[in-house]
Amino acid sequence: MREWWRDAVIYQIYPRSFQDTTGDGVGDLPGITQRLQHVADLGADGVWLSPIFTSPQKDMGYDVSDYTDIDPLFGTLADFDAMIAEAHKLGLKVITDQVLSHTSDQHVWFKESRTSRDNPKADWYVWADPLPDGSPPTNWHSHFGGPAWEFDAQRGQYYLHNFLASQPDLNFHNPDVIEAILETCKFWLDRGLDGFRLDTVNYYFHDQQLRSNPPAQAKPQVMATDLYGMQDNIYNKTRPENIAFLQQLRALCDQYDDIMMVGEVGEGGNKATRIMGEYTQGTDRLHMAYSFAMLGPDFTADHLRSCVEGFQQGAPDGHPYWSFSNHDVFRHITRWGEHGVDEDTFARLTCMMLMSFEGTIGLYQGEELGLTETELVFEELTDPPAIRFWPAVKGRDGCRTPIPWEKDAPNGGFSTGNPWLPVKAPQAAKALDQQTGDSTLNFYKEALKFRKSSPALRMGQTQFLDLPEPILGHTRSLDGQHMTCLFNLRKDPRVLTIDGPFTLDGPQEVSVKDTTLTLPGNGFAFLAHDAKITVTPS
């Protein structure tokens, strides 16, 4: 039996911003349950929930203080169970964000660990003495600015934190930590969860010798919040011990029916591809992995092709997960917007590109409405790196603003209270109740239906065509049936010559005359054919 996730479309829900039912301005689990019909109507196969567990919310739930309870902001365990039941009733799978590499400093484990050097949990986190001059034990950087070490006066030692100082890293070299973490995962699987999205999956282990990283060999990339690119990060993450833990986690998941794990690889370029290959190799590690390869500023046919082919070559028996937007990056309609004829046309192009890729597809809430990045002023920010480094860093709040359900309702119908982030006019204009007729939402529904109806798109092998920029072209093939997918990534029309019989398939707007196919700006075409065809630029 083919596993549900192999050709699935997974819809990411950012719970804070989906639907508020209490009027406190923050989305909640009952709100998700209320709106799941929307996800089912879209044609998605499952949902990924960003963190919903107990947390002081210093990093919006990515700082967990209790792995086995729901944060009161979002509801209760009973609300979670009701949400799972409704999702399954609608035919939707549910996976949650598991943030295992670190906890909140408010977690009971860390509170005990920091009290002394000899308590039962003294070695549950990564502690180290200062260097003789009092400086941190290594040169490792934190992603949110400054050293990855925080001095704790109570213990007289530094502790490791790859992110905020209030997010201390667990010590996965301690088998008791691994056992405790596996128990927390089992807790949710026992409640009917269908899998996990594993945050920062290559960050679990650190170098026990605490060796400093060497300088980056390639040209360093320097950003205001992130000096990682100036080092070759070989000692603070992606350690070889990680594989054994993934195998333990997979063994736990394999005790249940049809569970899926997708790992977020915090790396870029060829290095990310190599890690994804290692982590998805065989049948005893992750089911699939993704990186930030398609979540950056590059929007060229060559880049997109290299992402897919790089995975094919670097992880030949692995399984990819492709998405253009999520809760950590600018929405792609804005990020790549300079290449769009207009927002709606560009939304349709990028939708069909995703639907054409081999593997599992991820959609981020609001993408199906064509939402753009929200412009915020400093006083509206909640994201720690944005607050610290404004205006050089805009942060992640702009992609996290609430979903607009009703254009003319207060706060777009998201909340009757004061929302944690504002719903502004450009986003409200694209509210769900405005998505009628020839809308972006209805186009997404048609696109997902088209993908499901085509075995070649769902399960076929990928072969790229050698076409010049800005045309991306590839053929998906299965059992003698072929679907050639062509995309014009720029605003001006492009003309192609097709040699061989084909029929146009799926939603598209192209001009065909004899053997000549014209792609308008941001145009695309899907050509169904039984025999080989040749595509060349005219």
pLDDT at 64: 98
The distance in angstroms from the start CA to the end CA of the chain is 44
pLDDT at 227: 78
Residue 487 tokens read as 């995309």
Range 433-452 average pLDDT: 98
Q: What is the DSSP string of 363-419?
A: EETTGGGTPPPPP--GGG---HHHHHHTTT---SGGGTSPPPS-TTSGGGGS-SS--
Range 414-421 average pLDDT: 98
Annotated catalytic residue, options 97, 150, 152, 267: 267
Structural domain 9-101+174-451, CATH architecture = Alpha-Beta Barrel (3.20)
How many residues can be counted in the chain? 538
Which residues lie closer than 8 Å to 270 by C-beta, 6 or more apart? Answer: 310, 314
Reported as a single tens digit per residue, the pLDDT across 192-235 is 999 999 999 999 999 999 999 999 887 655 555 667 778 999 99
Reported as a single tens digit per residue, the pLDDT across 325-362 is 999 999 999 999 999 999 999 999 999 999 999 999 99
pLDDT at 303: 95
SS3 state of residue 202? coil
**Half-sphere exposure (Cβ direction) of 252: Cα atoms closer than 13 Å:** 22
Q: What is the DSSP string of 324-344?
A: S--TTS--HHHHTGGG-SSHH
Pairwise CA distance, residues 142 & 158, whole Å = 13
Sequence ranges of the domains in the chain: 9-101+174-451, 458-537
pLDDT at 225: 60
SS3 state of residue 304? helix
SS3 state of residue 68? strand
| Residue 509 annotated in active site | no
Nearest to 102 by CA among 184, 156, 160, 16: 160
Q: CATH fold of 458-537, please?
A: Immunoglobulin-like (2.60.40)
pLDDT at 226: 64
Range 492-510 average pLDDT: 94
pLDDT at 219: 62
Pairwise CA distance, residues 347 & 350, whole Å = 5
Backbone dihedral angles phi then psi of residue 450, each to the nearest 5 degrees: -65, -45
Radius of gyration of the chain (CA): 24
Annotated catalytic residue, options 194, 199, 264, 278: 199
Range 167-179 average pLDDT: 98
pLDDT at 223: 53
Query: Taking 90 as the threshold, does the pLDDT of residue 425 lie above it?
Result: yes
Range 50-69 average pLDDT: 98
pLDDT at 493: 96
Which residues lie closer than 8 Å to 377 by C-beta, 6 or more apart? Answer: none
Q: How confident is the model at residue 270 (pLDDT cuts 50, 70, 90)?
A: confident
Reported as a single tens digit per residue, the pLDDT across 137-166 is 999 999 888 899 999 999 999 999 999 999
Reported as a single tens digit per residue, the pLDDT across 451-489 is 999 999 999 999 999 999 999 999 999 999 999 999 999
Q: How confident is the model at residue 424 (pLDDT cuts 50, 70, 90)?
A: very high
Q: How confident is the model at residue 250 (pLDDT cuts 50, 70, 90)?
A: very high
CB-CB contact of 49 with 15 (8 Å): yes
Average pLDDT value for the chain = 95
| Residue 379 annotated in active site | no
- CA of 512: how far to CAs of 34, 159, 341, 467, in Å? 45, 64, 21, 18
Reported as a single tens digit per residue, the pLDDT across 352-394 is 999 999 999 999 999 999 999 999 999 999 999 999 989 988 9
Pairwise CA distance, residues 492 & 473, whole Å = 17
